[in-house]
Structure formats: structure tokens, C-alpha cells
Amino acid sequence: MSDLQGAADGRKPVFGAERRVRILELLRANGTLSLRQLAEAVQSSEVTVRRDVRALEADGLLDRHHGGASLPGELSHEPTHLQKAQVAKAEKGAIADLAAALVEDGDAVVIGPGTTTHALAQRLTGHTDLTVVTNSLLVAQALSASPRIEVVMTGGTLRGPVQALVGSAAERSLAGLRVRRAFISGNGLTAERGLSTPSMQVASTDKALAASAEEVVVLADHTKIGVDTMVQTVATDRIDHLVTGDAAPQEELHELGVRGVRLHVARPQA
């Protein structure tokens, strides 16, 4: 159980200076968090936590941004695949199950890098006459033993933290391509700004992945909803579907729905 879950699942409320210390501990353990997540973890109101965040920002101890907070420099910090794989495992599995229903035999789809998109690929192995274009080494590996699935990998430069090929060669290999749907992830998603990631190289390649598809499907667990990171990947008006978990902030989901995003909410089994 993560520090964030432990705090939300029964620790006593904290007050004043102790609460601010806990906020910093939570950010160190979990990276960027929304105000709602911080408020739940320290069992205080969002108004109180917003005041704490402002005070901590004034002391130079964190960075405040749209709907949340992070440690200084965290907006541009890129967690590794292994680090991300430890977060919301059951929820990511439920999201992958729901997303798999959007793929049919005979489809041509794009699947980008990420722990949830990797889980999606693992659920597609039984499909037939499926073409999957990907820049993710892990997605390609998950589908490599499926004889009725054609896996097309982009070119590019290997980026270790996300186990994916990025850069101009990757983008050139996607130019002129047209598939039914692109399944992509990122590090943050807000109604105001859309999908974002800390890396400019990853963002540029993700944009090319999205541009190749008739529809864009974003897979994002609740820890990414309401969180903003440095580089915009896909604007909200370009996102057709969002597959997320039932712990995602309802106000953010509502606003995404108002802006035309079709919502698919997975409910992980206990």
C-alpha cells in the first residue's frame, strides 16, 4: 500500500505544520498530486490544503500548478516504467479490460507507451487480423507471439524511462499513416489543457501517434486526472474517448464530458 493510500484509508487527521510535512511526504512518495488527492490523504478540505500549498510554495518547497502540486522540478521529471507500474495496478487492469472492448478483429490501431497501454496489449493477444502500430518495446513484446496480429514498430531513438522509440525517425514513420484508433497515455490529464507529459521528445512522438488516428482514446488512471505536466500532448478537443477508473475526480470528469470527451469508467474489483 502506498503512502497516499495509507493516509486516505484511516490515518488520523493532521493539523498545521504536521499537515504540511505530510503534504511534502506524499509528494515525495507519489510525485505530482491533485489538491483533491492531497485533501483526502490528510483528511482536510481542499480549501485548507490549497492554503497549505500556497504557503509551501512561498517557502520554495513545492511547485503549485493547475489543480495540484509537485516537488520543485517535478513537472519536468519523467518517472520510469518500473516506478509507474507500481501505481494503481488493479485500476490499470480494469481500464485495460474496458479499453480492449474498443478494439475489434480486423482493426488497425496505434498503441503508445505506458503501463496501462502495455496492459491493454496483453489483453489483445487473442485477436485476429489485427494490425498494431507501436513505438513501445513492451507493447510489441506483449503481442510478438500472436500469429494473427501484425505488429509494426516505428523507428526512432530508444528512451529508457518509457521503453519506447521517440524522435524525428519515429515521427517520420508515422507520417501519412491512418488507423481507426490511437490508444495513448501520459502523465497528466486536465479538461483545460488535455493530455500532457514531462518530456518534449515523448510529447512530440505522442502527438504523431494521435495524428495518425481517426479517434484518440486516452487511458489514464485516477492519479493522472486533474494533474498537469510540462508539455501538452493532445488537446482536449482532440480526445474522443477517456478510459479511467471510478476514483477519478468527478468534477474533472464532468468538465471533460462537457467538452465532448466520451467517458468510460472502469470499476476495479476489490
* Range name among 56-70, 76-90, 120-134, 241-255 with the lowest pLDDT average: 76-90
Q: What is the mean pLDDT of residues 232-257?
A: 95
Please report which helix (H) or strand (E) contains residue 189, including its range.
strand 188-190
Ranges in the chain annotated CATH 1.10.10.10: 3-74
Higher pLDDT, 109 or 70: 109
What is the predicted pLDDT for the residue at 10? 44
User: What are residue 90's phi and psi, to 5 degrees?
Assistant: -65, -40
Is the pLDDT assigned to residue 40 strictly greater than 50?
yes
In 10 A of CB 29, how many CB atoms? 13
End-to-end C-alpha distance for the chain, whole angstroms: 14
What is the predicted pLDDT for the residue at 264? 97
Ranges in the chain annotated CATH 3.40.50.1360: 81-266
What is the predicted pLDDT for the residue at 79? 53
What is the predicted pLDDT for the residue at 75? 52
| Residues 214 and 170: beta-carbon distance below 8 Å | no
Instruction: Give buried/exposed letters for 99-122 (b at 16+ CB in 10 A, else e).
Output: bbebbeeebbbbbbbbbbbbbbbb
265, β-bridge pairs: 244
Provide long-range contacts, Cβ within 8 A and 24+ apart, for 143-151: 149/124, 149/125
Half-sphere exposure of 140 (CA within 13 A, CB side): 13
| Residues 115 and 266: beta-carbon distance below 8 Å | no
Is the pLDDT assigned to residue 12 strictly greater than 50?
no
What is the predicted pLDDT for the residue at 138? 95
Is the pLDDT assigned to residue 26 strictly greater than 70?
yes
Place 3 in a pLDDT band, splitting at 50, 70 and 90.
very low
User: What are residue 188's phi and psi, to 5 degrees?
Assistant: -160, 155
Instruction: Give buried/exposed letters for 241-258 (b at 16+ CB in 10 A, else e).
Output: bbbbbebbbeebbebbee
Is the pLDDT assigned to residue 175 strictly greater than 50?
yes
Q: Degrees (nearest 5) of the Cα angle 4, 190, 176?
A: 120
Place 153 in a pLDDT band, splitting at 50, 70 and 90.
very high
pLDDT, the chain, mean: 86
Is the pLDDT assigned to residue 2 strictly greater than 80?
no
Higher pLDDT, 84 or 257: 257
Q: What is the mean pLDDT of residues 27-53?
A: 83
Q: Positive or negative CA dihedral for 185, 190, 193, 198?
A: negative
Place 171 in a pLDDT band, splitting at 50, 70 and 90.
very high
Q: CATH classification of 3-74 is 1.10.10.10, yes or no?
A: yes
User: What are residue 250's phi and psi, to 5 degrees?
Assistant: -65, -35
Report how far residue 164's alpha carbon sits from residue 170's, in angstroms, rounded to the nearest whole number.
10
| Residues 97 and 74: beta-carbon distance below 8 Å | no
Report how far residue 97's alpha carbon sits from residue 12's, in angstroms, rounded to the nearest whole number.
35
Place 150 in a pLDDT band, splitting at 50, 70 and 90.
very high
Encode pLDDT of 176-232 as tens digits: 899 999 999 998 899 999 999 888 889 999 999 999 999 999 999 988 898 887 789
Which grid cell is 267? Answer: 470499476
Question: Which class for 58: exposed (0-12), middle (13-18), buried (19 or more C-beta within 10 A)?
Answer: exposed
| Residues 107 and 177: beta-carbon distance below 8 Å | no
Encode pLDDT of 63-81 as tens digits: 887 778 877 765 544 555 4
Cα–Cα nearest to 218, from 238, 204, 200 = 238
Which grid cell is 10? Answer: 484511516
What is the predicted pLDDT for the residue at 183? 98
Place 88 in a pLDDT band, splitting at 50, 70 and 90.
low
Name the CATH topology of 81-266.
Answer: Rossmann fold (3.40.50)
